[in-house]
Amino acid sequence: MSFEKLDDLYRRIDAIDHALSILGADEATNMAVGGGEARAESMATLAGMRHRMATAPDISGWIETAEGEALNEEQAIALREFRRSHLNLTCLPPEFVERQTRTRMRCEQLWRDMRARNDWAGFQPALTGVVELAREEAALRSDALGLEPYDAMMEQYDPGNRVADIAPVLDELKAFLVDFVPRALAIQEERLSRHPLKPLSGAYPIEKQRELGLAMMAAVGFDVTHGSLSISHHPFCGGVPTDVRITTRYRTSEFLSSLMGVLHETGHALYEQGLPRENAHWPSAKARGMAMHESQSLFVEKQIGRNPAFWQWALPVVERYLGESWTLDDILPHVHGVERGLIRVDADEVTYPLHVILRFELEQDLISGRLEVADLPEAWDTKMKDYLGLSTIDAPADGPMQDVHWPAGAFGYFPSYTLGAMIAAQQWAAIERESPDMGDDFAQGRFDRVNQWRSDHIWSQASRWSTPELIERATGEPLNADHFRRHLEKRYGTA
């Protein structure tokens, strides 16, 4: 049967993906600096092998023949995803994939060094090469998929996302936030006038923070027998569902940024660990796009980790590992602090979407050619001033060099972050309708019930449905940004 041939093919492709994922995670955490060039060549060769295997001439015939075979429901869903995956893969020639993988890896490796030096001039040529290849990729995908170039790039991360659909939503959110951020800051100032901020001690050894992070990961459901926690320049969740690699970064002067980063990446990991194990090599058993993935990570960070009920349970845990005693009134101003800042990954949930919208707008211009890499620092600075009143013109490390996404060639990814925040808020609203007492579970350190809901409605569904279908089936309504706005207004908009 042709379906059996496809099944065997994707089993072998999945094995290469496994190797690439672990090599990539190791490259970001453990690899010696001198290993970069050889690692780039190795991964580029594997990527080329994978691409050739996945785009072999016989595959389109297998897909067509399998359409007429007697398939069960799960096989039919898998075949649909086989077809979608094959169409997206055949857009790009194997030699292009190898060239692009090599260019991206070398740029990412250079980025780690150049960002630490705040050296835009040294980094710009490498990023220019990545952007040129991204434009070439966008054109190839556009021709094959019948989409606008940037839409074709977003399709790789979140099938169904289109600028025409999401840009108006993000424009509306931007207008709301530009007005709401000053209001939230004023309310925060008034609260602090009544209860001054208790400062952090500024003495948090990395090993103690790591132990705290591991304890929190396990408490919210992370399977420590199928994953690990490491350090990297940029926090990420990588690896594979049976070996999930979480990373974070630490500051000894405070502990919340690392802890919240760990909770965020744990949300990604829970999704991966919760995916169906049966036929895990099928595309239909993988996570359904990056907006849904971000909704799972942001749910753990925001809906759980910044919930006051969570901190009723968490404060004794923090005291046990870090040796400091806090009250809710002391810690919540730190957990819910709003601040205009330069760094996206450190941003609070009020200002964070503005960081994403800035990138969404700039990368559309980069892909279209309306903006060149050489002009990126000035364009970034202009938007940062308009949206958050801050300047990065003299600090490119805190501007267009701060994220790993563009050096790694991930254009079209950023919208998923804020769409994910909207989906997370909508999921929480649905959970509260069904279980208004869920906060009581958090206060007692119990997360099995909320995880069961997410397993039933999100994780176990994998890629059976499109993102819009999955949202509606899980929450009972299409994506509705009002839930996110109400969430922000409730948490930050009342005195």
CA–CA dist 74, 60 (Å, integer): 20
Enclosing H/E stretch for 3: helix 2-29
How far apart (Å, rounded) are the C-alpha atoms in residues 453 and 456? 5
Please say whether the beta carbons of 449 and 435 come within 8 A: yes
What is the rounded CA–CA span in Å between residue 32 and residue 494? Answer: 50
Helices (H), ranges, 275-350? 289-298, 308-322, 328-335
Amino acid, single-letter form, for residue 411: F
Amino acid at 97: V
Annotated catalytic residue, options 81, 98, 265, 272: 265
The answer to whether the CB of 454 falls within 8 A of the CB of 296 is yes
The two structure tokens encoding residue 198:
């208790």
CA–CA distance from 410 to each of 134, 266, 317, 460 (Å)? Answer: 9, 21, 37, 27
Q: Does residue 265 carry a catalytic annotation?
A: yes
What region, left, alpha or beta, does residue 369 occupy, with left being phi > 0 and alpha being psi -120 to 50 degrees? left
- The catalytic residues are 265
